[in-house]
């Protein structure tokens, strides 16, 4: 994995601020304030106070600028030093927030270049933390007419099921 190329999607900070400010501006101010208060220990007292003031003044740009520093640092830390998952000739990079009940995994097979059109390598893999939740998701897929297909990567046949997107 260390020799594999690293792809970094870097959206300019100002563009992220504007996008997030527009999105958060549609949410209830009380819910936003509650979310900021839950981050108080991580943001610190002064930043929390300023972010709450920005919410009260409906200044979503300022609020996002204040909390984005925390999130950028947090997500960046989550990627630093992350080791690739290697098995059966496949490498993977898992990306996600440590407290989230889900993550994304990007995989590749050594010596294999994924095609540009849909191929066995074009997958979005979901890991469910609880068996019952996984079984409910599988039942829902089957209820909508989807059936499991053999996985290109043997890990998924051993640890779960693969469903093909008809698109």
- The model's pTM is 0.45
118 band by pLDDT with thresholds 50, 70 and 90: low
33 band by pLDDT with thresholds 50, 70 and 90: very high
Q: Give me the chain's average pLDDT, please.
A: 78
- Pick the last residue of a domain from 22, 46, 79: 79
User: Which position has the higher pLDDT, 113 or 141?
Assistant: 141
- Pick the last residue of a domain from 37, 57, 79: 79
The reply to whether 149 and 121 lie within a common domain is: yes
Given this model, what pLDDT does residue 45 score?
A: 92
Indicate if the pLDDT at residue 46 is higher than 70: yes
b (16+ CB within 10 A) / e for 26-65 = eeebeebbeebeebeeebeeebbebbbebbeeebbbbbbb
Residue-range definition of the domain harbouring residue 109: 85-163
Overall domain count for the chain: 2
């Amino acid at each position: 994995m260390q020799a594999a190329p690293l792809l970094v999607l870097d959206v300019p900070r100002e563009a992220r601020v504007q996008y997030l400010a527009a999105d958060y501006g549609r949410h209830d101010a009380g819910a936003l304030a509650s979310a900021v208060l839950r981050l108080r220990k991580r943001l610190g007292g002064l930043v929390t106070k300023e972010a709450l003031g920005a919410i009260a003044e409906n200044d979503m740009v300022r609020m996002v600028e204040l909390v984005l520093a925390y999130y950028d640092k947090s997500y960046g830390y989550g990627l630093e030093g992350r080791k690739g998952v290697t098995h059966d000739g496949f490498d993977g990079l898992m990306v996600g927030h440590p407290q989230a009940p889900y993550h994304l995994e990007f995989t590749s097979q050594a010596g294999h270049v994924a095609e540009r059109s849909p191929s066995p390598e074009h997958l979005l893999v979901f890991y469910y933390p609880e068996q019952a939740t996984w079984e409910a998701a599988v039942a829902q897929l089957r209820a909508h007419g989807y059936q499991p297909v053999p996985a290109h990567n043997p890990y998924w046949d051993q640890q779960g099921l693969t469903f093909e997107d008809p698109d």
